[in-house]
Structures are given as structure tokens and as C-alpha cells.
Amino acid sequence: MTDAQAVDALVAFFEEKPDSEAYFAILEVDGNAKVYLYLSTKCIFYSKIFQILQNVVMRGKKLGKTVYVFSIDADGGKVAHANYVSESVRSSGLDARTWASRISDILGGKAGGKEDGAQGVGVNTSRVEEALKVAQEMFSSK
């Protein structure tokens, strides 16, 4: 899935369901587009996956909708996840950092961010469906 396809899927979802408050998805992103940046002796890994996830999240933000998206990098044995919590949902008590932290409990790895948006990387790729379900449940219980 390309960047444009991922964003278009979110837009199409809300066009079909304009009253929906949130979008959840596991995106099949091409994980082969990776870039390595070298700073001093430390190699910092930047993945095209995160760029695509962030573009989907940003489109959700522009629409005023809550978003949680995931993508598995099977070759790297990692799963990336990112979220955005709309202002109306935040006022109901859902914090993006808490949400991502709970997902990281399932996926392993770490997450961080701000109250309106967070991201993380985990290592339990086989548990991404479970993580998606928990993300949906946490949103529904807000």
C-alpha cells in the first residue's frame, strides 16, 4: 500500500461513514522503502512505514477524527503503530499516550507522544490483531 492509498482508505471510510468518530486499521505498507541515516557512530533507523502511518494520522486530525493505525514489518520483525485522539474524545478522557502505552503492553517495545497523538514500535507481530481489538475497546469505553 502506498502513502496515497493509505490516506485514501481513511478518507473513503469517513465518506461512507461520516458519523463515525474513529478509524482503525492494519495497513499493509511496503516496508522495503527504508532509509538509514548515520550520525557519528550511531545508526538511526527511519522507516517509510512511520511516514505513511503519520500521514494517515494527520489526515484524520484534519478531519477531526480519532485514528489508530498499525503496520507490520515482517522482514524486520516489528510492528509500528500510531494514533491521534480528537479533541472531543480527549475531553471524554482518552489520552493518546495512555492508549499507546496499553498497546505497547501487548506488542512489546515502547511508545511515546503527547496527549493528542502517540506512536510506538513493538516486536510481537503475531499479536497485532489483539492490539487492534484492545485499541477499539479502549476507544469504545471512553
Instruction: Give pLDDT, residue 42.
Output: 35
pLDDT along the chain (142 residues), means of 10: 87 96 89 40 52 93 97 85 96 96 95 95 95 97 86
What are the start-end ranges of the H helices in 34-125?
48-63, 87-90, 96-107
- Predicted local confidence at residue 73, as pLDDT: 82
Structural domains for the chain: 3-140 (3.10.310.40)
- pLDDT score recorded for residue 2: 81
Q: Residue 27: how many CA atoms within 13 Å on its side-chain side?
A: 33
